[in-house]
Amino acid sequence: MRIRTAGVSVATVLLLLSALAAPAQASEEKLISTDPSTGTPSGYAAIEVEKAYLEDLAQDQTPAEIDAILNSGENFVSLFDPETGETTAAYIEPESIFTQAITPRGPGCASTDACATTTTPSYYGWYGTGTLAVNVANTAKVYAGNKLTGFAFSSGSAIALPAGSTAVLVSASTLTKVGR
């Protein structure tokens, strides 16, 4: 029995990335974009890359191999057909995909981001999980976004906010660390 992990061929990735790099018309259903910090596909584009890999895998993966992956107790990615209820391919997702990384968004914040507002006001947003050392002077308010988030300040104090919560600071302070 073969149990595969993610191992997309270089040629497949380059072909898909070159197709995605070509000018594309965005629609509400298909938003093609890349992460500006890494140049890798994000949003719908990332889903299409993953789907292409799974469709390729489905060509030679047996139902027994798929069942073994689905019942392995490991994190997996599968290709599922909602019309037939059939899973046609699957692979065990390598743990390295789950690395923690908080990424700055800016300027501005999305509603799901951890966010700091300064006295000017300027908005500093972060998404993802992990911890990140920052230096945001004159922070007046912090917002947790969609995750439990901790904020540390230059005074040595820190606050943990449940998802969706906001703290208005009594006096402006320098934000030094974000953790989610």
Side-chain-facing half-sphere of 50: CA atoms under 13 Å: 19
Q: What is the rounded distance in angstroms from the CA atom of residue 143 to the CA atom of residue 127?
A: 12
pTM: 0.47
Rg over alpha carbons for the chain, rounded to the nearest Å, is 21
Side-chain-facing half-sphere of 156: CA atoms under 13 Å: 0
Side-chain-facing half-sphere of 38: CA atoms under 13 Å: 10
CA angle 15, 80, 66 (to 5 degrees): 90
Domain spans, the chain: 10-97, 101-179
The torsion angles phi and psi of 2, rounded to 5 degrees, stand at -105, 125
Q: What is the rounded distance in angstroms from the CA atom of residue 15 to the CA atom of residue 155?
A: 51
Strand bridging mode 86-92 / 114-118: unpaired
pLDDT tens, position by position, for the chain (180 residues)?
444 444 433 333 333 333 333 333 333 333 344 444 555 554 555 677 788 888 999 999 999 999 998 888 777 888 887 778 888 998 887 654 444 588 898 788 999 999 999 999 899 999 998 889 999 999 999 999 999 999 999 998 888 888 898 998 888 999 999 999
Q: What is the rounded distance in angstroms from the CA atom of residue 114 to the CA atom of residue 152?
A: 13
- Quickly name the fold that domain 101-179 has: Gamma-B Crystallin; domain 1 (2.60.20)
Q: Which amino acid type is present at position 148?
A: L
